[in-house]
């Protein structure tokens, strides 16, 4: 099975010929997902579009599922970095919330299709589920930190910062998931709605 850590690992130095081919495969996969469902897609489709033989394709990825894990790992790494930045944001909670949601909205605007397709496969590809859960936990930690700075008590009860942060995180995920399939304007509205909910959870007037 594919290793999510290996899939998302950054390499140092100039990319090798193999690195460039791997990158091309992932780019092609992203392009194909815009015109063909993942279930209907074959490794041969990916290989042909990438200008490789099927055998060469298998040198880089043993299956379309493994390629999708690698593409998702690459996509969510930027989201993880944004979440870590939100946790360390020294701005006032109101401003930190606005910044975090703006960055999240921009990510879904750019990568919404890949995010939706991959999340839909999480139940059948365990590595994707693990990657998404790990990414969500980073965002939950950031939301928790901002709620605590806003004065929300950090206890384990249903109204404590950790529990509220978990609910807010998954509310944001589902809201952006659906809005990204509609339009950029829908994403803007989704971001504003999530901002209001997050502020109210923090005890801050919108």
Distance CA 96, CA 38 (A): 36
Helix (H) or strand (E) holding 199: helix 184-201
C-beta separation of 3 from 61 below 8 A? no
Instruction: Give domain limits for the chain.
Output: 4-64, 75-201
Please say whether the structural domain 75-201 has been given the CATH code 1.10.357.
Answer: yes
Closest to 111 (Cα-Cα) out of 166, 29, 171, 49: 29
CATH class of 4-64: mainly alpha
Distance CA 42, CA 102 (A): 35
User: What's the maximum distance between 2 C-alpha atoms anywhere in the chain?
Assistant: 59
Can you give the pTM of this predicted structure?
0.86
> How crowded is the C-beta side of 20, counted as CA atoms within 13 Å?
6
Give the pLDDT of the chain (206 residues) as one tens digit per residue: 445 444 444 444 666 776 788 999 999 999 999 999 999 999 999 999 999 988 888 889 999 999 999 999 999 998 899 889 888 889 999 999 999 999 999 999 999 999 999 999 999 999 999 999 999 999 999 999 999 999 999 999 999 999 999 999 999 999 999 999 999 999 999 999 999 999 999 999 98
Helix (H) or strand (E) holding 31: helix 17-33
Distance CA 173, CA 122 (A): 14
């Amino acid at each position: 099975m594919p290793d999510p850590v290996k899939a998302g690992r950054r390499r140092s130095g100039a990319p090798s010929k193999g690195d460039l081919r791997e990158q091309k495969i992932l780019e092609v996969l992203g392009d194909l997902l815009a015109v063909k469902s993942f279930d209907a897609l074959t490794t041969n489709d990916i290989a042909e579009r990438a200008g490789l033989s099927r055998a060469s394709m298998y040198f880089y990825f043993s299956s379309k599922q493994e390629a999708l894990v690698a593409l998702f790992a690459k996509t969510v790494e930027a989201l993880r970095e944004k979440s870590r930045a939100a946790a360390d944001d020294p701005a006032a909670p109101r401003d930190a919330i606005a910044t975090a949601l703006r960055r999240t909205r921009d990510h879904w605007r750019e990568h919404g299709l890949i995010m939706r397709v991959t999340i839909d496969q999480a139940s059948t590809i365990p590595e994707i589920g693990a990657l998404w859960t790990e990414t969500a936990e980073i965002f939950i930690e950031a939301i928790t930190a901002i709620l605590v700075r806003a004065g929300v008590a950090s206890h384990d009860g249903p109204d404590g910062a950790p529990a509220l942060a978990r609910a807010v995180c998954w509310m944001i995920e589902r809201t952006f998931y659906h809005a990204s399939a509609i339009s950029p304007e829908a994403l803007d509205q989704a971001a504003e709605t999530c901002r209001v909910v997050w502020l109210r959870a923090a005890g801050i007037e919108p």
